[in-house]
Amino acid sequence: MRHKRTMRHKRKLILSTVVAAVVGITTWIALPASAAAPTVTVRTVSDWGSGWQDEVTIKNTGGGMTSWKVEFDLPAGARIGSFWDADLAVSGNHLTFTNRPWNGAVPAGASVTFGFVGSGGQPSNCKLNGAACAGGDSSINPDKTGDGFEVPGSGPGNAPGSASGNAPGSGPGNTSTNPPTQTPTTAPAKPEEATSVPPAGSILPVKVSNETGRGENVFLYLLGTNLTTGKLGYVDANGTFTAWTGGGPVPVPAPDVSIPGPANGSSVTVKMPKNLSGRLYMSFGQKLDFRLTTDGLVQPAPWAGGDPNRDILFDWSEFTLNDSGLFINSSQVDMFAVPHAISVTGGDGKTLKTGEVKPDGRQRVIDAIKAAPDFARSVVTRADGTVLRVLAPGKAADAGLMSPTYLDAYITKSWNTYTGRNLTVAPFSDRPDTKFFGRTSGNVMNFTDTSGRTVASFTKPSTANVWGCDGALGAPNDLVVGPIARTLCAALTRNTLDRFDVQPSGTAADFYKGETPNVYGKVIHDNMVDGRAYAFAFDDVQAQESLVHSGDPRLAGITLTRF
């Protein structure tokens, strides 16, 4: 909560898209035995499908160590994005990490750790100080959660007090852009007038209202991760959670767990059990096709070729319900399809609401996208003339409906802006004195802290990295690299990095301008009643996201509005 003010998010309460605590698989790799032989531990902290975060620990088991060098080979197509607590030299697919001035000397019995975020296949062929790492297979073992949901209101690297979080993402099969994270807080929303409220309990009623004016049958799905057990599953009409079973190496159909939704002009109340994080899907006219694998649930991905749901009109909201209350948001990170508002009523009777689209806003979004030549093909229309969805730029590019290099020139311009001056990143709204200073050298932007120590480095991202806030902009769940990555991604997505050398910066009026603006992000926000939306993964930077939270939720609501 997906992504909030804690720090990774992607949200980080634990919410998740899924989210459960990440348990890394560790491979111990030792150099040939000797009294002073150091050891290397390589651990995948998290793997979220489209990217991963690795951690390398060097331990000095005896003798003096004044410097170190760790080398790996990358498989074809893999790439390193951000890295920290080490310097990196890249020669083709060969990586050489060396100590920074302050962490080269490692006393006997002590250790030093560095890390990096990447995409594609994992590094292999480890060497430490020129000697092959022994101990068998030197490849890195990934830790995959396989949960398939993102935590609402949290995002990679969203530390407490962060000015930004992460929008819920997608799970296995959906090319998720975000790893799991922590606990979010929400930006203030205007309370509506007080109303009567149900008593507190372990089941939260969620009232789904249909005001669309459409006559199709509506089907609802309440899916997510049980935060107590870590199991991925579904909730039935009675509020009972059941873990998925029966997946295989080849995706197999999941059982039909749909809940009949409301007819036009009526409402249906579904029951959400506590300690659940996931999505509430709604489809029109046809049930969704979910599949199960040994890694978890394959969710609908209509931008992917051959997805069985591509001709179905559907959408979803993302949520987390735990001891911190309810975090719920609408999401346009992947697509804009069914306009719907989300709300939560607390024990004080006050209701917070967001995500409401302006009257005729859906059509205005469609018209604006069609009028933008670079984005026009991202409007997906069914054979019967029904506009099913507008794909977000990254998904449109994945589907071959938009140029994969649309932002490249802008990214280069922004990166080169800081070859001769500093970029100041102050990522925490409640800690304005915590600042990091970026300066570009070649294609790498290095960040120092206020003491002058280099704390993070980022290779120049691609257009896909910006749309996905991934790859070179992958955000680990820490208090330094993740917050900087989120800030960079938000500035590039909103087209402000080249214009403001302090980030986050500007207001909504300053966003989405320039020669290659993010038209999708602009028109989505322009057509929201309160201006809030989750148009990209880190739209919660500067509190632009469509998320509401109550620490004492008594009633949640999703209103499907007219279109």
Strands (E), 12-135: 16-17, 25-30, 39-47, 52-59, 69-73, 79-84, 87-91, 94-98, 111-119, 124-128, 131-132
Mean pLDDT, residues 512-535: 97
How confident is the model over 15-26, as pLDDT tens digits? 233 333 333 443
CB-based burial, 432-463: b 16+ in 10 Å, e otherwise = eebbbbbbbeeebbbbbeeeeebbbbbbbbbb
Q: Do 219 and 261 touch, CB atoms closer than 8 A?
A: yes
**What does the pLDDT read at residue 547?**
97
DSSP 359-428: TTHHHHHHHHHHTSTTTGGGEEE-TTS-EEEEE-HHHHHHTTSS-TTTTHHHHHHHHHHTSSSPEEE--B
Residue 300 DSSP SS3:
coil
**What does the pLDDT read at residue 209?**
98
CB under 8 Å to 416, separation ≥6 — which residues?
440
Q: Mean pLDDT check: name the lowest of 76-80, 269-273, 315-319.
A: 76-80
Q: Give the Cα separation of 333 and 556 in Å (integer).
A: 22
CA 203, chain centre distance (Å)? 27
How confident is the model over 456-480, as pLDDT tens digits? 999 999 999 999 999 999 998 899 9
How confident is the model over 90-115, as pLDDT tens digits? 999 999 999 999 999 999 889 999 99
> Looking at the predicted structure, is the pLDDT value of residue 34 above 60?
no
Q: Mean pLDDT check: name the lowest of 5-14, 135-144, 259-268.
A: 5-14
Q: Are strands 218-226 and 259-260 parallel, antiparallel or unpaired?
A: antiparallel
Structure tokens at 407: 């932002």
**What does the pLDDT read at residue 134?**
54
**What does the pLDDT read at residue 132?**
82
Q: Return the percentage of the chain with pLDDT > 70, whole number.
A: 82
> Looking at the predicted structure, is the pLDDT value of residue 27 above 90?
no
- 187 vs 229, higher pLDDT: 229
Strand partners, 437: 424, 448
Mean pLDDT, residues 433-442: 97
Q: Mean pLDDT check: name the lowest of 136-150, 459-473, 500-514.
A: 136-150
**What does the pLDDT read at residue 133?**
76
DSSP 38-70: -EEEEEEEEE-SS-EEEEEEEE--SS--S--EE
Residues, the chain, total?
Answer: 563
Q: How far is CA 346 from CA 199, 263, 449, in A?
A: 10, 27, 41
> Looking at the predicted structure, is the pLDDT value of residue 338 above 90?
yes
> Looking at the predicted structure, is the pLDDT value of residue 35 above 80?
no
Q: Do 122 and 140 touch, CB atoms closer than 8 A?
A: yes
- Does pTM surpass 0.85? no
**What does the pLDDT read at residue 535?**
98
> Looking at the predicted structure, is the pLDDT value of residue 151 above 80?
no
Is 334 one of the catalytic residues? Answer: yes
How confident is the model over 280-311, as pLDDT tens digits? 999 999 999 999 998 889 999 999 988 999 99
CATH tag for 204-403+527-560 (out of 2.60.110.10, 1.10.10.10, 3.50.50.100, 3.90.1640.30) = 2.60.110.10
CB under 8 Å to 300, separation ≥6 — which residues?
174, 281, 288, 289, 290, 307, 309, 312, 314
Mean pLDDT, residues 409-428: 97
Q: 23-132 has which fold?
A: Immunoglobulin-like (2.60.40)
Mean pLDDT, residues 27-40: 53
Q: Which H/E stretch holds residue 489?
A: helix 481-493
285, with CB counted inside 10 A (0-12, 13-18, 19+), is middle
Q: How far is CA 271 from CA 309, 345, 364, in A?
A: 25, 15, 34
Name the residue among 548, 527, 541, 490 with its Cα closest to residue 187.
548
Question: Phi then psi for 240, rounded to 5 degrees?
Answer: -90, 130
**What does the pLDDT read at residue 195?**
57
Q: How far is CA 16 from CA 112, 192, 346, 473, in A?
A: 30, 28, 22, 20
How confident is the model over 260-274, as pLDDT tens digits? 999 999 999 999 999
How confident is the model over 552-561, as pLDDT tens digits? 999 999 999 9
Each domain of the chain, given as residue ranges in start order, spans 23-132, 204-403+527-560, 408-516
**What does the pLDDT read at residue 334?**
97
Mean pLDDT, residues 361-387: 98
**What does the pLDDT read at residue 147?**
36
Query: What is the average pLDDT value for the chain, to the nearest integer?
Result: 85
> Looking at the predicted structure, is the pLDDT value of residue 358 above 90?
yes
> Looking at the predicted structure, is the pLDDT value of residue 182 above 80?
no
Question: Phi then psi for 403, rounded to 5 degrees?
Answer: -65, 130
Q: Give the Cα separation of 289 and 298 in Å (integer).
A: 9
CATH 3.30.920.50 fits 408-516, yes or no: yes
Looking from the CA of 275 toward its CB, the CA atoms found within 13 Å total 10
Candidate list 315, 318, 539, 540, residue with the active-site label = 318
**What does the pLDDT read at residue 36?**
53
**Which residue bears the tokens 């794909």?**
391
Structure tokens at 482: 């993740």
- Is the Cα torsion angle 416, 419, 422, 425 positive or negative in sign? positive
Q: Do 441 and 447 touch, CB atoms closer than 8 A?
A: no
Candidate list 334, 356, 539, 540, residue with the active-site label = 334
**What does the pLDDT read at residue 38?**
84
Looking from the CA of 68 toward its CB, the CA atoms found within 13 Å total 29
Q: Which H/E stretch holds residue 557?
A: strand 553-560
- 58 vs 134, higher pLDDT: 58
